[in-house]
Structure 1
Amino acid sequence: MFELKHPRNKIYDERFLDKCDPKITAFYHEYCVRKLGRTMPGRKDFDPLDLKRFLSGIILVEKDRKTGELFYRLVGTEAVEIRKKDPTGKRVKEHFYGDSWEEVEENYRYVCECKSFIYDHTVDGDRIGKFFHEEILFLPLSDDDDFVNIILLYSVKSLNSSE
């Protein structure tokens, strides 16, 4: 059984659907439709044209089968904006966005080992006195319905002025 060391702001079952942004709900339903009776869909089950309304919030992270290393393969414009740089093609460990590598890595490990999703949400401040709320859904993809070779992330961010 997977032991969580950083459970803060994370939901590991469908209870997240009661509190998440409607775009997250819609994306999750798109994901579930593509399972086709399997534990998880594969990357080939997603046509970018069908996901056009979600593309800016999508991140694809590839897990190397031999080394287990994680690499950004596609990073949507909203994630690039939050990071203020584009990490596409780079190692996640060196270019992650989060409080600590241990917490970020735990999200990816959970998705890969449990072959299940995580809903995570945070509130962060930026440099000009505004705060944003970000919701991220981590979803497993597999070519063989066994090894998670892609972690599909969908994030939604809302910006609020600080008080």
Structure 2
Amino acid sequence: MGVDSAMTGIPDSCIDTLQDQRLIRLLAYWQQKCLGRLMPSPADIEPLEFKFILGYVTLVDIETAPRRYFFRLDGSILASLSGMDYTGKYLDQLGLPEYCDFVAATYDRVIDGRRPYAYRKRGAFDKASFSEETIILPLGKGEQVQRLMVAVIPGGRPGNDGKMLI
């Protein structure tokens, strides 16, 4: 098990009320790739099939015993907006303890539940404020989650309909 979600303020899932059309499309893509299984395998995912959101997607590998999160790829738009590219780093190496605890708790929720999770959150971690709508999608074989596909749409950014998000 990972971080205690009660201590990190994990919001209830908003998977059924996503606002950003790109996140809704990505969820539909993930569901289509499930092919009747609990989740698609990492090999089932083809990034060129979701170009509409690719720069906002991060791929996270999961290590077990102890559980640890490795950023296989950080979306180029996310890296540009945050000023940090997480690619090739572990979550616990980022030097942002409040943020890392929160993120680990959301990842743990998806891994332990073996189902997608989404949230909208405004707040501050480690003296930096943020606003975002996020979806976390599990990838794996059988009931074993091997990778997470995470899409983050920062608040205050225009959606594909020109409206401001969150």
| CA 97–32 in structure 1, closer or farther in 2 if over 3 Å, else same | farther
Deviations 1:60-82 (A, max 9, x none): 00012454221000111222123
Aligned positions of 1:97-136 closer than 5 A: 99-123=98-122, 133-136=131-134
How far apart are residue 21 of structure 1 and its match? 1.2
Residues 133 and 153 of structure 1, relative CA distance in 2, 3 Å threshold? same
- How many Å separate the matches in 2 of 1:78 and 1:124? 20
Kindly report the root-mean-square deviation, in angstroms, between the aligned alpha carbons of the 2 structures.
2.8
How many correspondences in the alignment?
Answer: 152
Task: Compute the displacement of 1:117 (Å).
Answer: 1.7
Which residue number in structure 1 is paired with residue 136 of structure 2? 138
Unaligned regions of 5+ residues in structure 1, if any?
Answer: 126-130
Report the secondary structure of 1:159's partner residue.
coil
How far 1:156 moved relative to its partner?
1.3
- 1:128 aligned residue: none
AA matched with 1:134: E
CA separation in 1, counterparts of 2:96 and 2:24?
23
Contact 1:60–1:153, Cα closer than 8 Å, also in 2: yes
Q: Where does residue 5 of structure 1 map in the other structure?
A: 6
Between the aligned partners of 1:120 and 1:108, the Cα distance in structure 2 is 12
Structure 2: distance between partners of 1:24 and 1:97: 26
| Equivalent position amino acid for 1:122 in 2 | K
| Larger CA deviation: 35-44 vs 96-105 | 96-105
Secondary structure of the 1:151 match is strand
Residue 33 to residue 103, structure 1, CA distance change in 2 (3 Å): same
Ranges in structure 2 where 5+ consecutive residues have no aligned partner: 158-166
Identity of aligned residues (%): 21
Q: Does 1:61 align with 2:41?
A: no
The code of the aligned residue for 1:115 comes to: R
